[in-house]
Amino acid sequence: MSVPTLLVLAADPPPRLGRLTGRAQVVTVDERSLADRLPYADVLLVWDFTSDAVREAWPGEGPRPRWVHTPSAGVDRLLCPELVASDTVLTNARGVFEEPIAEYVAGLVLAMAKDLPGTLELQRQRRWRHREGMRLAGSRATVVGAGPIGRAVAGTLTALGVTTAVVGRTARPGVHGAEDLDPLLARADWVVCAAPLTDATRGMFDARRFGLMQPSARFVNVGRGPLVVEEDLVAALSKRWIAGAALDVFSDEPLAPGSELWDVPGLIVSPHMSGDTVGWRDRLGEQFVELYERWLAGKPLLNVVDKERGYVPMHD
Amino acid sequence: MSVPTLLVLAADPPPRLGRLTGRAQVVTVDERSLADRLPYADVLLVWDFTSDAVREAWPGEGPRPRWVHTPSAGVDRLLCPELVASDTVLTNARGVFEEPIAEYVAGLVLAMAKDLPGTLELQRQRRWRHREGMRLAGSRATVVGAGPIGRAVAGTLTALGVTTAVVGRTARPGVHGAEDLDPLLARADWVVCAAPLTDATRGMFDARRFGLMQPSARFVNVGRGPLVVEEDLVAALSKRWIAGAALDVFSDEPLAPGSELWDVPGLIVSPHMSGDTVGWRDRLGEQFVELYERWLAGKPLLNVVDKERGYVPMHD
């Protein structure tokens, strides 16, 4: 067998690929040359996982990579009908982002419970103003998204004493089905969105759903921006339908300096960083190398995406 | 037995005392009239627990209350040699503040791990700048103070995956003695001060101890302000001996608008609110009523302070 061609969509070379020397013919491409190179690649590593180029460049018929890996949890930027219909295997970075995101969500939730944004603003103004926080233990969270990220978020909130319900597409042990979503939103102090972006979930957090929530509820999105109808969230906050929100993801990233989202009262804006902790690129590189070695050895790949559903199914 | 006189040091009447109607002769006093009234009181409730008036007004000899209750965890503002030497029983609010403070500390620690202050500042500037957080799980904390607050903080940090050591005055199961303090400071990512303020602990966090800490370490004080030599903390932050700090308590409270502490880079300032969650005054009122009923029934009081040591000893 000749050395496979590993096409890497990346501006800067990923770490750890040196370990594949002699076992992969690494070709680094940018978005513009991707379409020309794709038919000659055995494997595609979408290192620049925020790019939409793969969906646009994917060949309809004819030669194409047998395996595509994205070092991200979501695969929404990659999926096009031709890729879904093909026999190309798609894998993701399951295992890398779950626990960091769970910590990030816990940090946001505690910051809102204890009004840390208010504290920092008062500090800027050199004003001593005592306020009362709320207890996190005993409050209720509804986590939307029953994949590994949603479950990790639920685990961390549960460890902090929060009564947490997880909602997925279909009911199974420990997971509520979509039919329970609305009543669970209506009684939550915290609504955390960690769902995959699919045709079924796009825009799911809209005026109707924000209207179901309690006036004291806070909403956190660490999934994908288009899960939320952003103007409906802004309206819900300004009308006090809900008490606060934190967005780490947006329909357009990076968020433009002129976006109205930057200064909505009660809204925390962060730059899509919830899963990214020191060393994350190394871990993603290591994970790809391990998968590549499995693939080369003819072993079944891990983290295989169900392309019809748009995520890696859970088997437990 | 005649109805006991319950002296209440308070600007506003405490909640729940109505339940003692007929069983207590409630007399509310302010700081100025406290000294005149103290000799005629059976019980003193120091509802305004931030007042120093009790220490100043306490009668040297002669009649005095048999029981003093403070609805706070710390008793440092009350203790004077005459009160320590007397047979007056002193009780505190053990049980009310522990878990709220533990949540507050977890919120500060997560906020620093994920650079939430930086995120909020960038949001104010409408700037999208991705950063990497640090994992909380796997980091190390040293909690100074082995009372119920220190233990609650340790429990919450442990639940978040932090390897946590608790340091008290003397070693016992689960608690390091003071002889382990310096080496435990030297290896901690997080140093949390939840110690009582006594002659032995005043000023314990000074230049020498900040100098022992790692340059990446962060320091949190939720105990009492004078546990920290504030100018030494400012110097340690400005010289980058440590990476950050959060103070909820200060030598002088409220912190003056002109204090240099308001705008030290890397320092979060909050207005002594870590333990105060919605309903806390009700809970403090209820706790006092329950203690009063025990006292009236001749049962042993709970939360009895060891006045020599300056805190309620742990018995487990």
Residues 52-71 of A with CB under 8 A from B: none
Q: What is the mean pLDDT of chain B?
A: 96
Q: Does A266 touch chain B (CB under 8 A)?
A: no
Q: Which residue of A has its CA nearest to B130?
A: A271
Query: Do A177 and A170 form a contact (C-beta atoms < 8 A)?
Result: yes
The answer to whether A11 contacts chain B (CB < 8 Å) is: no
A220 at the B interface (CB within 8 A)? no
SS3 of B79, please? coil
- Is the CB of A271 less than 8 angstroms away from the CB of B104? no
Collect all residues of chain B within an 8 Å Cβ-Cβ radius of residue A159: 159-160
Q: Does A137 contact B at CB distance below 8 Å?
A: yes
Give start-end residues of each CATH 3.40.50.720 domain in chain B: 5-95+279-296, 98-269
User: Over the range B101-117, which residues count as b (16 or more CB within 10 Å of their CB) and which as e?
Assistant: bbbbbbbbbbbbbbbbb
Whether B62 has a pLDDT exceeding 90, the answer reads no
Nearest CA in chain B to A252: B128
Question: Are A104 and B126 inside 8 Å of each other by CB?
Answer: no
A231, A233, A237, A211: which is closest to A221 by C-alpha? A233
The predicted pLDDT at position B213 comes to 98
Q: Is residue B1 scored above 80 in pLDDT?
A: no
Is the pLDDT at B316 greater than 70? The verdict is no
ipTM of the complex: 0.95
Which residues, in sequence order, are bridge partners of residue A91? A69, A304
Cβ pair B126:A263 closer than 8 A: yes
Contact A104/B114, CB-based, under 8 Å?
A: yes
**What is the CA angle B102-B105-B110, rounded to 5?**
125
| Res B131: pLDDT | 97
**Residues of chain A contacting B116 with CB distance shorter than 8 Å:** 107-108, 111, 116
Mean pLDDT of B50-77: 94
Q: A280 to chain B: nearest residue by CA?
A: B132
Q: Looking at the complex, does the CB of residue A32 fall below 8 Å from at least one CB of chain B?
A: no
Q: What is the DSSP string of B200-237?
A: TTTT-B-HHHHHHS-TT-EEEE-S-GGGB-HHHHHHHH
Distance CA B76, CA B82 (A): 14
CA distance A272 to A293: 30
> Which residues of B are catalytic, by number?
224, 253, 272
Q: Would you give per-residue pLDDT tens digits along chain A (316 residues)?
A: 689 999 999 998 899 999 999 999 999 999 999 999 999 999 999 999 999 999 999 988 889 999 999 999 999 999 999 999 999 999 999 999 999 999 999 999 999 999 999 999 999 999 999 999 999 999 999 999 999 999 999 999 999 999 999 999 999 999 999 999 999 999 999 999 999 999 999 999 999 999 999 999 999 999 999 999 999 999 999 999 999 999 999 999 999 999 999 999 999 999 999 999 999 999 999 999 999 999 999 999 999 999 999 999 986 4
User: Which residues are within 8 A (CB) of B89 and not within 5 positions of it... i.e. 6 or more apart?
Assistant: B66, B67, B68, B301, B304
Q: How far is A40 from chain B (nearest CA, A)?
A: 34
SS3 state at B244: strand
Confirm if B196 and B76 have CB atoms less than 8 A apart. Answer: yes
CA-CA-CA-CA dihedral for A120, A125, A130, A133, to nearest 10 = -20
Chain A: residue nearest B122 by CA? A270
CATH architecture of A98-269: 3-Layer(aba) Sandwich (3.40)
pLDDT at residue B315, as a whole number: 65
Alpha helices in chain B (DSSP H): 31-37, 53-57, 81-85, 98-113, 116-124, 148-159, 181-186, 207-212, 230-238, 280-296
Flag whether residue B113 sits within 8 Å of chain A, measured between CB atoms: yes
- For chain B, how far is it from start to end, CA to CA, in angstroms? 37
| Distance separating the N- and C-terminal Cα atoms of chain A | 37
The verdict on a CB contact (< 8 Å) between A103 and B111 is no
Contact B194, B148 (CB under 8 A): no
Gap from B132 CA to chain A (nearest CA, Å): 5
- Say whether B268 and A100 touch across the interface (CB within 8 A): no
A114: chain B residues, CB-CB within 8 Å = 103-104, 107, 273
| Nearest C-alpha in A relative to B266 | A120
From CA A59, how far away is CA B285, in angstroms rounded? Answer: 72
- CB proximity list for B80: less than 8 A, separation 6 or greater: B55, B58
Structural contact between residues B100 and B313, judged by C-beta atoms closer than 8 angstroms = no
- Residue A313 forms contact with B (CB below 8 Å): no
Q: How far is C-alpha B314 from the chain's CA centre?
A: 16
What CATH number labels A5-95+279-296?
Answer: 3.40.50.720
Per DSSP bridges, beta strands A43-45 and A190-193 are unpaired
> Is residue A268 within 8 angstroms of chain B, CB to CB?
yes
Spatial CA neighbour of B275 closest among A129, A137, A156, A135:
A135
A116: contact with B, CB 8 A cutoff: yes
Alpha helices in A65-224 (DSSP H): 81-85, 98-113, 116-124, 148-159, 181-186, 207-212
Q: Which of A56, A253, A260, A293 is catalytic?
A: A253
pLDDT tens profile B188-223: 999 999 999 999 999 999 999 999 999 999 999 999
Q: pTM for the complete prediction?
A: 0.96
Type of residue at A25: Q
Residues 141-180 of A with CB under 8 A from B: 156, 159-160
Strands A190-193 and A89-91: unpaired
Closest of B60, B29, B61 to residue B43, by C-alpha? B29
Instruction: For residue B154, list chain A residues with Cβ-Cβ distance below 8 A.
Output: none
Residue B82 has pLDDT above 70, yes or no: yes
- A7 in Cβ contact with A36 (< 8 Å): no
Contact A271 B132 (CB under 8 A): no
Q: Count A/B contacts: CB-CB distance under 8 Å.
A: 154
Q: A257 at the B interface (CB within 8 A)?
A: yes
The answer to whether B314 contacts chain A (CB < 8 Å) is no
Partner-chain contact B133 A278, CB within 8 Å: yes
Cβ burial A225-240 (10 Å sphere, 16+ → b, else e): bbbbbbebbeebbeee
Q: Is A260 a catalytic residue?
A: no
pLDDT at residue number B98:
98
Nearest-neighbour CA in chain A from B310: distance (Å)? 26
Half-sphere exposure (Cβ direction) of A139: Cα atoms closer than 13 Å: 27
Query: Does the beta-carbon distance from B116 to A119 stay under 8 Å?
Result: no
> What integer pLDDT is reported at residue A316 of this predicted model?
45
The span from the CA of B70 to the CA of B256, in Å, is 26
